[in-house]
Amino acid sequence: MNKKQYFGELLEKDFRVGDIVEWSTYDHDTQNWINNYGIITTIRKEISSGRLISVSKVLPISGPQNEIKFFTASLKLVSNISANMMED
């Protein structure tokens, strides 16, 4: 019997704890999208609306240093921790 994949599982495989990621937020004052950057601290599975999904916690590089929870598929990989370790 095939194991059913959870939502975001395929994209989750591209991310690791320590990776630098990007996400966008909309600024209503300037009416522009702002790119934000942070470091993944946790990747795990959670149940949301009765469905198992991939969720990542990210520590922003700038601004308040509070972890933010994201649906993993909504993040864009900027720098892979594995690639950076190979260069050193």
pLDDT band with cut points at 50, 70 and 90 for residue 12: low
CATH code: domain of residue 38: 2.30.30
Residue 14, pLDDT > 50, answer yes
Residue 87, pLDDT > 60, answer no
Residue 63 belongs to a domain: yes
Number of domains in the chain: 1
Residue 1 belongs to a domain: no
Residue 1, pLDDT > 50, answer no
Which pLDDT tens digit goes with each residue over 15-66? 999 999 999 999 999 999 999 999 999 999 988 888 888 999 999 999 899 9
The values of phi and psi at residue 73, to 5°, are: -65, -15
Residues 49-69 as b or e (16 or more Cβ within 10 Å = b): eeeebbbbbbeeeeeeeebee
**pTM across the whole model:** 0.78
Provide the residue range defining the domain that includes 24. 9-87
